[in-house]
């Protein structure tokens, strides 16, 4: 399809949220667009699934164990108790998504036993970084949503701690390694996004944003101030404007970076010799469909 034809088709398909639904954005989709507009297109317009990956599934399992552990009385939140949750939590995940079991069976490098052992190693690292017997989270897997001038921001916060004086600490678990200095801003963007939404919801700026990296046993902490969060609000609104512009023009150009090595769609990317699928006729509408642009998954790592 030539550029001219594509543009004509898009012009006839006025972008905008579906009737009765306001525009919405999640931190994951905002990050996709910031990283690469074509990556955003593949996820949001073409709706190409990410192939199931052992790393993502392990992340989901570890998140789920860390969440369930807080169901136990404080004194019983031990490494052994957490390890005992791994099997049952994995079974729950497989019951919901049987493809996970198939993925593990197809993985020639792992048995179920070694798979569980990997999860337990990450969980044990968490016990080095935090002491759950001294924590009483106010919320776990908290869904948050707030509207900013017609744009709804949504996400899931892994854990929210509230101090006796009302100070909020937002905690996010990452099963990978902490990012290099170059990618720190990207990791913090997601946390500032949550902080902005919580500020709007609770009227309090979270005092601490804490990323817990289990892959290399590191904590990243940041205390945002009002100027930070106002800057984040401006950034998110500007991003949405850029997404709407791309939805109108059909210009979803690739932006290459070191992250291309981890892109699920590299084979389809013209920057790497691939050919993307034809742009759907209703691409402009799909690009801003709030069920996808604001789609959130509590297991997002």
CB nearer to ligand SF4: give 132 or 254: 254
Chain residues 67-106 in contact with ligand SF4, contact rule CB under 6 A: none
Chain residues 219-258 in contact with ligand SF4, contact rule CB under 6 A: 254-256
For ligand SF4, which residue of 269, 279, 287, 288 counts as binding (CB under 6 A)?
269
Cα–Cα distance for residue pair 68/47, rounded to 1 Å:
31
Strands (E), 62-192: 139-148, 151-162, 168-174
For ligand SF4, which residue of 104, 135, 260, 292 counts as binding (CB under 6 A)?
260
CB of 274 to ligand SF4, least distance (A): 8
The widest CA-to-CA distance across the chain, in whole angstroms, is: 66
In this structure, what token pair is assigned to residue 196? Answer: 């902005």
- Residue 20 burial (CB < 10 Å; 0-12/13-18/19+)? exposed
CB nearer to ligand SF4: give 83 or 268: 268
Cα–Cα distance for residue pair 165/239, rounded to 1 Å:
35
The answer to whether residues 156 and 141 touch, using CB atoms and an 8 Å cutoff, is: yes
For ligand SF4, which residue of 265, 284, 288, 300 counts as binding (CB under 6 A)?
265
Q: Which among 113-121, 185-193, 218-226, 267-275 is the span making contact with ligand SF4, rule CB under 6 A?
A: 267-275
| Residue 277 C-alpha from the chain's centroid | 25
CB nearer to ligand SF4: give 34 or 94: 34
213 three-state secondary structure: strand
For ligand SF4, which residue of 34, 220, 271, 296 counts as binding (CB under 6 A)?
271
DSSP summary character for residue 75: G
The answer to whether residues 23 and 240 touch, using CB atoms and an 8 Å cutoff, is: yes
Q: Which among 119-127, 167-175, 177-185, 259-267 is the span making contact with ligand SF4, rule CB under 6 A?
A: 259-267
Chain residues 26-45 in contact with ligand SF4, contact rule CB under 6 A: 36, 38-39
Residues of this chain that interact with ligand SF4 (CB under 6 A) are: 36, 38-39, 254-256, 259-260, 263, 265-266, 269, 271-272
């Amino acid at each position: 399809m030539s550029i001219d034809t594509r543009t004509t088709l898009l012009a006839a398909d006025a972008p905008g949220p579906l009737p009765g639904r306001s525009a919405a954005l999640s931190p994951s989709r905002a990050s996709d667009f910031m990283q690469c507009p074509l990556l955003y297109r593949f996820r949001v317009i073409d709706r190409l699934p990410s192939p199931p990956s052992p790393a993502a599934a392990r992340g989901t399992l570890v998140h789920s164990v860390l969440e369930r552990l807080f169901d136990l009385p404080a004194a019983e939140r031990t490494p052994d108790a957490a390890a005992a949750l791994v099997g049952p939590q994995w079974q729950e995940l497989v019951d919901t998504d049987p493809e996970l079991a198939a993925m593990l069976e197809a993985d020639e490098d792992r048995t179920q036993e070694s798979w569980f052992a990997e999860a337990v190693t990450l969980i044990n690292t968490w016990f080095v970084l935090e002491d759950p017997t001294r924590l009483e989270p106010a919320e776990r897997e908290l869904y948050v949503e707030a509207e900013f001038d017609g744009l709804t921001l949504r996400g899931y916060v892994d854990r929210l701690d509230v101090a006796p004086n009302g100070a909020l600490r937002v905690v996010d678990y990452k099963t990978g390694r902490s990012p290099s200095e170059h990618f720190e801003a990207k990791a913090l963007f997601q946390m500032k996004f949550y902080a902005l939404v919580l500020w709007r919801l609770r009227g309090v700026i979270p005092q601490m944003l804490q990323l817990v990296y289990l892959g290399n046993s590191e904590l990243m902490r940041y205390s945002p101030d009002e100027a930070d969060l106002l800057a984040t609000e401006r950034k998110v609104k500007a991003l949405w404007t850029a997404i709407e512009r791309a939805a109108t023009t059909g210009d979803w150009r690739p932006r290459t970076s070191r992250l291309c090595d981890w892109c699920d769609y590299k084979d389809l990317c013209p920057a790497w010799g691939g050919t993307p699928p034809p742009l759907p006729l209703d691409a402009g509408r799909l690009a801003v469909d709030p069920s996808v642009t604001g789609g959130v998954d509590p297991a997002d790592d």
